[in-house]
Amino acid sequence: MEFGRRVVLAVGVFVAIVAVSFLIDMAVGQVYAGAGGSTDSLLRTTTVVREDFRHGPQSWRPYATPLAIGPGDLPSGDWYLAFVELGTVPVGGNPGLARTGVVRVDYLFTDLAGTASFSVYGLRAGDGRTWTNRQSGYGTSGYYVSGTAAAGESPRWASPLEEGDRYVVEIAGSSRPVDDDVAWDTRTFWFERTGSGLDGLHITTYPAAPKGQVTETGDLEGTFYVTYTGGNVVGDLFMMVAVDRPQPDGFELRLESTFVEDDE
Amino acid sequence: MKRPTYFSLYEIALLSLFGALVFVARMALKIPLHVPGNSGILWVLPIIVGAAIVRKPGAGTYIGIVSGLLASFFGLEALHVFDILKYAAMGITIDVVAMAFGYRLDNPAVGFVAGAAGNVVKMAVNYAVHLLLGVQGTFILIGIGVSSVTHLVFGGIGGILAALIIGRLCRAGVVHQGDVPDDG
């Protein structure tokens, strides 16, 4: 075949590849986002009960160096930690190149004793490198809810995490074992180094303010958003719920999470 | 009696150095464009130049595998051992294009085709591995249309640069074009 024809054929193949890519893009967009732009297929509902607080009591939450859980910079108090997979992830980056969006989280507490603290953990796609929301300094974000129920008995099943840069945490929610002999689902959070991984994920009450803010409220029902302002792909997203005292038997936290596109 | 080998010692040394150059270029040089596929400009250069110098089927694949092994062992990217697949896929694709065009990689049009094809195939393998590993399809596949265009463009630019470099090497007498097969 003549040289020039081969080049033209190659360009034709490229055009076909691009056309197929756009077709896949559109098809996937319709499957996941639906014709009306809704992302209901990504909605996940998780219920957290007192048995899901698998870690604690401890004054800090996982990172390369211990972070405070309550409002403020310094770890203090005795907190019990539960980790919930949200089932969807925020997408950052150039909005012209990807369908960017945030994760909307609706929460509803029943019989909350003391303060509940929400923190977010995201795993980079493909490895266990983990990001979390900043706890102190410029760009701090967090969400705290106060309840008035009486405290319950100390959870005998909980044990504190060990300090380090790698944490194996038990995941609460859908696959809760009914037998103590059956192991819980676990995930490993790995923090590369101190100072890294604190400025990508944020908790905000307004998606228009993606860097987030610290919110303290007494509303047992509400909404906040998880945003990502980095340039990588978040593979999995986890919400850490921490409570500063043992919860009563009637405690329940219902979390609904879904993906919300930026331009919706 | 000495057994004949497919690649000579000189060629193996050269291809290994080019493989290392891919790895070093990926690690040391960052283009802060935040556009998918922009690293293809740097990535395809050593593979195309190496394939053009050695002019044997498998040269690009060899460079791809060497760079993939280095990237895997040093944990350069998120996919770790699976990185070998995308590096090797790019090398194989450039080999195929080079053979199809009779190793006329000093021609900017061929350079563009080789670079663009290599970068697009790398993208496809990357998406496939992410899906295989269970990274949510929604966010991997959304944007693949634009991503394919940017991979083509950046890979193509890298390929054109490689062709210009090869042309200069030819004129300097480093690479000999005497045995370039006729197109047919």
Select from B129, B132, B139 the residue whose CB has the most chain A CBs within 10 Å, as the one to mutate to test that interface.
Answer: B139
Instruction: Please tell me whether the peptide bond between B46 and the residue prior to it is cis, using omega within 30 degrees of 0.
Output: no
B176 CA: distance to closest CA in chain A (Å) = 20
Chain A positions touching B130 (Cβ under 8 A) are 125-126, 233
Alpha carbons within 13 angstroms on the beta-carbon side of residue A124 total: 19
Q: Give residue-wise pLDDT tens across range A39-91.
A: 555 678 889 998 899 998 999 999 999 999 988 888 889 999 999 999 888 88
With a cut of 80, say whether residue A127 has pLDDT above it: no
The CA distance from B105 to B101, in Å, is: 8
Alpha carbons within 13 angstroms on the beta-carbon side of residue A180 total: 4
Q: What is the distance of C-alpha A155 from the center of its chain?
A: 24
Chain A positions touching B145 (Cβ under 8 A) are 18, 21-22, 24-26
- Say which residue, B119 or A128, is predicted with more confidence: B119
Is B144 close to A89, i.e. CB distance below 8 A?
no
Contact in structure between B88 and B61 (CB atoms under 8 Å): yes
pLDDT for B49 equals 94
The CA distance from A232 to A222, in Å, is: 29
pLDDT for A43 equals 77
With a cut of 60, say whether residue A121 has pLDDT above it: yes
Is A25 close to B142, i.e. CB distance below 8 A?
yes
Per-residue b/e over B26-47, b at no fewer than 16 CB within 10 Å? beeeeeeeebbbbbbbbbbbbb
- Give me the interface pTM, i.e. the ipTM: 0.83
Closest CA to A82 of A107, A109, A60, A52: A52
With a cut of 60, say whether residue B178 has pLDDT above it: no
Closest CA to A245 of A101, A18, A47, A53: A53
Angle at A257 between CA A251 and CA A258, to 5 degrees: 165
Task: Collect all residues from B whose CB is shorter than 8 A from any CB in A.
Answer: 34-36, 77-80, 82, 97, 100-102, 104, 109-110, 113, 116-117, 120, 130, 133, 135-150, 152, 183-184
Chain B positions touching A3 (Cβ under 8 A) are 101-102, 104, 183
With a cut of 80, say whether residue B64 has pLDDT above it: yes
B55 phi and psi angles, rounded to 5 deg: 55, 45
pLDDT for A36 equals 46
pLDDT for A99 equals 74
Q: What would the mean pLDDT of A180-209 be, rounded to a whole number?
A: 85
- Say which residue, A194 or A96, is predicted with more confidence: A194
pLDDT for A259 equals 87
Q: What is the distance of C-alpha A150 from the center of its chain?
A: 28
Contact in structure between A25 and B141 (CB atoms under 8 Å): yes
pLDDT for B182 equals 41
Per-residue b/e over A35-72, b at no fewer than 16 CB within 10 Å? eeeebeebebebbbbbebbbbbbbbbbbbbebbbbbee
Query: How many residues does this entry show for chain B?
Result: 184
The CA distance from A258 to A43, in Å, is: 4
CA torsion through residues B104, B109, B115, B116, sign: negative
Is A127 close to B101, i.e. CB distance below 8 A?
no
| Torsion angle of C-alpha atoms B93, B99, B105, B108, degrees rounded to 10 | -70
- C-alpha dist (Å) from residue B31 to A187, B26, B34: 33, 10, 8
The closest CB to that of B138, out of A17, A42, A129, belongs to A42
Chain A positions touching B146 (Cβ under 8 A) are 25, 96-98
Q: What would the mean pLDDT of A139-148 be, rounded to a whole number?
A: 94
Q: Give residue-wise pLDDT tens across range A6-34.
A: 889 999 999 999 999 888 878 876 666 55
Segment 141-200 of chain A within 8 Å of chain B by CB = none
Q: Give residue-wise pLDDT tens across range A215-244.
A: 999 999 999 999 998 877 788 899 999 999
pLDDT for B184 equals 36
pLDDT for A75 equals 87
A224: how many CB neighbours lie within 10 A of its CB?
26
Question: Where do we find the tokens 């923190």?
Answer: A119
The CA distance from A11 to A4, in Å, is: 11
Q: Is A124 near chain B, with CB under 8 Å? A: yes
**Helix, strand, or coil here: A73?**
coil
- Claim: this prediction has a pTM higher than 0.95: no
pLDDT for B93 equals 95
Q: Give residue-wise pLDDT tens across range B92-107.
A: 999 999 999 988 899 9
